[in-house]
């Protein structure tokens, strides 16, 4: 009798143990799933936040450079001023007026972020800012800027048009 009873308890114990084990496994599985979903959710949240940040940056860039095409076209007008002025003698009474109109145009464009690329004869040629359009023989060290042919312009630090320069090369003997 006693033995039988003992047996029963053992069996019972085993059953509840099995139950316990299944529920632990179940809990483990659910826990894993929870972590997975939580992770996925956090990632999705983070993705959105990051996307928003990038989008803001993109919009800022877009706003900054949305005028680029217009500004680039206006550079031709500035060139024409330069070319026109070059044909007028210093003494020409009309010269000052045209210079002022040019300055007016440039001033407006500067307000929208345009800068004139600083180039000078004698400095080393830098393709990041200048475009070489030809070579001239000179006594200056080869590879330096020998002549500035066209002004270069940048918009918010980005080159819209490089300065056009001629590069010095060794004089042939």
Contacting positions for another protein (CB under 8 A):
51, 65, 79-80, 83-84, 86-87, 124-125, 127-128, 130-135, 142-143, 149-150, 158-159, 162, 164, 167, 169
Contact in structure between 81 and 102 (CB atoms under 8 Å): yes
Contacting residues for 105 by C-beta, under 8 A, at least 6 apart: 74, 77, 78, 81
Closest CA relative to residue 155, chosen from 118, 114, 119: 114
| Residue 86, token pair as written in the block | 């070059």
Q: How far is the CB of 158 from another protein (least distance, A)?
A: 5
Angle between helices 68-87 and 95-111 (to 10 degrees): 160
Closer residue to another protein in complex, CB, 109/154: 154
Least Å distance, CB 21 to another protein, is 33
Place of tokens 């819209």: 160
Q: Residue 88 or 116: which CB sits closer to another protein?
A: 88
In this structure, the number of other CB atoms found within 10 A of the CB of residue 130 comes to: 22
Least Å distance, CB 129 to another protein, is: 9
CB of 69 vs another protein, minimal distance in Å = 11
In terms of CB distance, is 97 or 134 closer to another protein? 134
At its nearest, how many Å lie between another protein and the CB of residue 110?
A: 19
Q: Which is nearer to another protein, 109 or 125 (CB)?
A: 125
On whether the CB atoms of residues 125 and 162 are closer than 8 A, the answer is no
Which of 148, 142, 140, 141 lies closest to 165 in space, CA to CA?
148
Nearer to another protein, 9 or 80 (CB): 80
- Of 113, 119, 117, the closest CA to residue 153 belongs to 117
């Amino acid at each position: 009798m006693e033995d039988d009873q003992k047996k029963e308890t053992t069996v019972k114990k085993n059953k509840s143990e099995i139950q316990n084990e299944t529920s632990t496994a179940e809990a483990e599985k659910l826990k894993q799933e929870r972590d997975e979903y939580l992770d996925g959710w956090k990632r999705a949240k983070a993705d959105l936040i990051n996307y928003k940040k990038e989008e803001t940056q993109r919009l800022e860039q877009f706003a900054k450079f949305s005028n680029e095409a217009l500004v680039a076209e206006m550079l031709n007008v500035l060139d024409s001023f330069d070319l026109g002025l070059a044909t007028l003698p210093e003494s020409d009474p009309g010269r000052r007026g045209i210079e002022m109109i040019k300055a007016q145009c440039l001033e407006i464009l500067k307000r929208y972020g345009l800068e004139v690329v600083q180039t000078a004869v004698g400095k080393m040629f830098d393709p990041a800012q200048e475009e070489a359009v030809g070579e001239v023989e000179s006594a200056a060290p080869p590879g330096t800027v020998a002549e500035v042919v066209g002004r270069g312009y940048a918009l918010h630090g980005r080159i819209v048009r490089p300065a056009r320069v001629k590069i010095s090369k060794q004089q042939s003997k």
